[in-house]
Every structure is written in C-alpha cells, then in structure tokens.
Amino acid sequence: MTQPILQRSDEKWVLLATVLASSMAFIDTTALNVTLPRLQADLNVNGTELLWIVNAYALMLSALILVGGALGDRFGRKRVFMIGIGIFTAASIACGVSTSGGFLVAARAVQGIGGALMVPGSLALIAALFPDERRGVAIGTWSTFSTLTTIIGPVLGGFLADQGLWRFVFFINVPLAAIAVFILVTRVPESTQASDGARLDIVGAALATLGLAGLTYGFIQLGEADSANPALAWIALAVGVVALVAFVLVELRIKHPMVPPSLFQSSTFSGANLLTLFLYAALGGWSFFLPLNLQQVQGYTASEAGVVFLPFALLLTVLSRQAGKYADRLGVRPFLIAGPLIAGLGFAWMATIGITNGIGEYFTSFFPGVVLMGIGMGITVAPLTTAVMNSAPREATGTASGVNNAVARTAGVLAVAIFGALALGLFSSTLNAQALSLGLSPELQSAVSAEAAKLAGAAVPSGVDAATGAALQTEIDWAFVQTFRVVCLLAAVLAWIAAGVAALMIKAKA
C-alpha cells in the first residue's frame, strides 16, 4: 500500500470530510421514506413509480458498491471518493428539481452510481490514513455520527415534508458536499493500493446489476393488476435469475472475483450474510410501508411520522455498543438468535394494529412494536458485524465488510420489490372487492380500480355523494391496513428465519 504521511492535526479533517459525505447518503435514505406520501401527491405518481423511486438508488448502490471500493483501491481512494461525491451531488440537484416520477427515478439511479463510489471510500480513507493506535477511535467516531444521521433523517424529512419542502431532502446535500470536497482537496492526501495485476471484475458487476434489475423490475411489474404486458415481467424475472446464476459461476472461475467464494467456506460468514439477507429484507420492506400507513391512513403529520422512528433509532444507538461489548465475552451467537426473535415480535405486533385515532394513540399502538424492533436490532447489529469480521481472514476483512454491506442493501432492494408487488396486488384486489359491496356504478368501479395503483394514496373518484365518498375512503384505508398487516407478518417470518439461521450456522465461539 502507498501509505501517505498524515499530520496529526489533519486527522480531524479526514474524519470531518468522511462523516459529511457519508451523511449525505444516510440522510437521503432515512429521510426520503417519510417524505414519500407528500412526494407522491405533489408529483402524482402511482405505487409502482413510488417503489422505483426507492429502488432505483438502492439497486445501483447494492450492485456497484464492491466495484466502487475496488476502483478506489486502484485509482486512488480520495480521487474516486470525490468523483462519487460529485456524481451524487449533481444527481441530488436533479432529484430536487424533478417534475415527474420518471425523471426522479432516473436521477435516483444516477445517485446510486455516485453512492457506490462514495460510500466505500469513507471507511477506506480512515483505515488507510489513520495509524493503528487511533484507527479504532476514528471508526467509532464515524459510526457514532452515522447513527446520529439515522436518528435525524426521519425527523428532518418529516419536518421538511410538513413545510412542503421535501425537495430540500436532496438540496441539503449541496453544502455538505461543497465542504467535504474543499477539505479533501486542501487537507487530505491521496491513498492507493499497490497494484498486483488484478483486473476489475467488470463482468461480475454487470451480471449482478442485470440480475438485480431483472428481479426488481419483474416483481414490481407483476404487482400491477392492470399490467398491459405481464409476459414482460416474467421475462425480466427469468433474465434476472439467469444473470445471477451466471454471476455465481463467473465468481467461481475467475482469478480476481468481486465476491471471493473462499469467504463462504466459513459457515459463520455464510450464516451471518444469510441472516443479514433475511433480517434486512424484513426491515427494508416494513420501513417502506410504515410511513405510508402513518400519514395516509392513520392521520399522522409527516413530522409525527418521523418521530415514530426515534425510539427505534435511540435503542439501536444505546444497545449496539453494549451488545458489542458483551458479545466479545459471550460470543455472538446468543445475540444473533435473540435479536431477530425480538425484532420478529415487533413486526408481529405491528400486524395487530387497525385504524387508530392518530398520534394520540401512538403509545398503545405503534410504540410497543417500534420498541421491540429497536431492542432486537440493537442487540443484533454490532455482534453481526463482529461475526462477519472475525470469520474472514485478516487480509480480507475489507472485502468481507463490503460483501455484507452489499448483501444488506440487496436485501432492501428485493424486499421493496417483492413486498411492493404483493402489496400492489393485494391492495387492488381487496379494494375492488370492498368497493363492489357499495353498489357503485360500473364507471365509478372502474375509477376506483384505476386509483388502486396509488396504494393508500388512492383518491375517492369525483361524482359520488358525501356518504358514499366517506364509505369509500374507509374502504381504501382498511384495504391498506390489511395489506400492511400482511407485510408485517411476512417481515416477522423473515426475522424468525434469520434467528434460525443463526442457531444453525453461527459457531458458538464466533
């Protein structure tokens, strides 16, 4: 490795630059979900476009994040980090000025490309530039601020959405990026990895991207009840499966794979990543639909919906450090079994909630479930990271971390796509069945069917009397509540499967 000489006085600048840049990605992710109902109304997007607004970014990020890390190692971590910041910021501006769902989806995809170059660079720069005796403290500080953005994001997103300023979730990245780039240019030296002749795994990256895109597109399109060409969805699913199988075969055969198969010879490493896949799929699917339920059905403001996430984030912050400490003494396995089990109970609790009277009933409705999930995730996250790192050879810890990060993000992509497809189909069929009982005319019934594509954002068609309109709105709300309950139950099952994986595959002394 080309190890630059970093002055002690400059270490704080490296840390500040990496924290600021990482905060852009974390805030965008956590704040955006809370703004989705307001965004949907302003841009008049349907449920499918809403799913893509989230998944276009996550898809590109999850598929290219390992390539982004490899590019930094080869061509300069600071250089690639700054390019990533530039792409991410330009795409953020495009997101903020979007006037249609399609344009926003395209801009979010470009954001994901920038994020794939930016996200791996933050920790890579810290690891490369800080000496061994101060590296742990630096990473701990970075993690603390990353967690704070998880707490701040939903609150900030809710506040901006309530003010009609959801676009500023994207615009806020501009000053953060400017400060980070200025620090990187003036205070941070370049860092590269000595070349060993290895080639970038472009074929693997292309196959992973194609595979995830095929599955994502296929599942989302299958969920559209009025899809004009369902055969195209099945073709996309087939292409996705074939591409992912080809990806595995390529990784097994090439000399320098993007995902080294040797890592998976450890049952603990394999189990930790399988647990990650199931648990983060549950979390990703649930966190997409909760803000829609809170704001479009339960009557919460966007700010109140953002605050709902606070107990989860606070418990995650407080318990992660303690769980990590006790996992060092007791081993990670008990925590990786108990954590997903408790989180699953939280998801299951959410499945019992009907239509409430808003924030006034929060503590007897959503609060217990959020607390259970916060406890479950809080005692899982740090031991899970420990399991991944301890099960990989020392020289491959960076790659192992990247693989686990990619698995977590891939889980979110597939969960939103699959849960979204299920929700679109279930909501549409439930609403149509319930609307039939109201004795609507064929024209109004057709209008209701068309609105079902917007999920809980469906509007009562014009031309109905007040009593029928009120009854129809109630049916829309209940159709989404029933859909949300199914999502929560599926999330609970996935979390409990994750606990079973830990029991079967994580070694007792890992």
Q: CA nearest 71: which of 195, 237, 155?
A: 195
Give the domain-ending residue among 155, 174, 201: 201
74 and 151 share a domain? Answer: yes
Rounded CA-CA distance 225/423 in Å is: 11
Contact between residue 240 and residue 218 where contact means Cβ atoms under 8 Å apart: yes
Both structure tokens of 480: 């989404």
137 vs 323, 349, 406, CA distance in Å? 18, 38, 25
446 and 320 share a domain? Answer: yes
Q: What is the pLDDT of residues 86-140, one digit of tens each?
A: 999 999 999 999 999 999 999 999 999 998 888 877 777 877 777 766 765 676 6
284 and 251 share a domain? Answer: no
290 and 237 share a domain? Answer: no
User: Looking at residue 97, what is its pLDDT?
Assistant: 95
Both structure tokens of 121: 């660079």
Give the domain-ending residue among 155, 177, 201: 201
Q: How is 48-93 classified by DSSP, letter by letter?
A: HHHHHHHHHHHHHHHHHHHHHHHHHHHH-HHHHHHHHHHHHHHHHH
Domain that residue 207 falls in: 203-255
194 vs 3, 72, 410, CA distance in Å? 10, 11, 30
Contact between residue 285 and residue 491 where contact means Cβ atoms under 8 Å apart: yes
Residue 280, helix vs strand vs coil: helix
70 and 90 share a domain? Answer: yes
114 and 59 share a domain? Answer: yes
Rounded CA-CA distance 320/314 in Å is: 10
Q: CA nearest 120: which of 335, 409, 347?
A: 409
pTM as predicted: 0.83
Q: What CATH number is given to the structural domain containing 435?
A: 1.20.1250.20
12 and 140 share a domain? Answer: yes
Q: How is 370-396 classified by DSSP, letter by letter?
A: HHHHHHHHHTTHHHHHHHHHHTS-GGG
Rounded CA-CA distance 482/432 in Å is: 13
Question: Residue 176: how many CA atoms within 13 Å on its side-chain side?
Answer: 24
317 and 196 share a domain? Answer: no
Please tell me the total count of domains within the chain.
Answer: 3
Rounded CA-CA distance 292/330 in Å is: 40
**The 3-state secondary structure of 285-331, one letter per residue:** HHHHHHHHHHHHCCCCCHHHHHHHCHHHHHHHHHHHHHHHHHHHHHC
324 and 334 share a domain? Answer: yes
Give the count of beta carbons closer than 10 Å to the beta carbon of residue 138. 21
User: Looking at residue 282, what is its pLDDT?
Assistant: 95
Q: CA nearest 339: which of 500, 192, 124?
A: 500
Residue type, 154: P
Both structure tokens of 226: 């009025």
Q: Which distant-in-sequence residues (6+ apart) come within 8 Å of 38 by Cβ?
A: 161, 164, 166, 295, 302
Give the domain-ending residue among 255, 277, 296: 255
Beta bridge mates, 2: 192
Rounded CA-CA distance 95/239 in Å is: 29
What is the torsion angle, in degrees rounded to the nearest 10, for the CA atoms of residue 236, residue 238, residue 240 and residue 243? -130
Q: Which distant-in-sequence residues (6+ apart) come within 8 Å of 380 by Cβ?
A: 279, 323, 335, 336, 339, 340, 343
134 and 230 share a domain? Answer: no
pLDDT in tens, the chain (510 residues): 445 555 666 778 888 888 888 888 878 878 888 899 999 889 988 888 888 898 888 888 877 877 787 788 778 888 989 999 999 999 999 999 999 999 999 999 999 999 888 887 777 787 777 776 676 567 667 766 776 776 788 888 889 988 989 999 999 999 999 999 999 998 888 876 655 555 677 888 888 888 888 887 888 777 664 555 678 888 988 999 999 999 989 988 888 787 788 888 899 999 999 999 999 999 989 988 999 999 999 999 999 998 898 898 888 878 877 887 788 788 889 999 999 999 999 999 999 999 999 899 999 999 999 999 999 998 998 888 888 878 877 666 667 777 887 888 888 888 888 898 899 889 988 888 887 777 777 888 888 888 888 888 888 887 778 888 888 889 899 999 999 999 999 999 999 999 999 999 998 765
- Exposed, middle or buried: residue 199 (CB in 10 Å: 0-12, 13-18, 19+)? exposed
231 and 270 share a domain? Answer: no
User: Looking at residue 8, what is its pLDDT?
Assistant: 66
18 and 161 share a domain? Answer: yes
Q: What is the pLDDT of residues 442-499, one digit of tens each?
A: 888 888 888 888 888 888 887 778 888 888 889 899 999 999 999 999 999 999 999 9
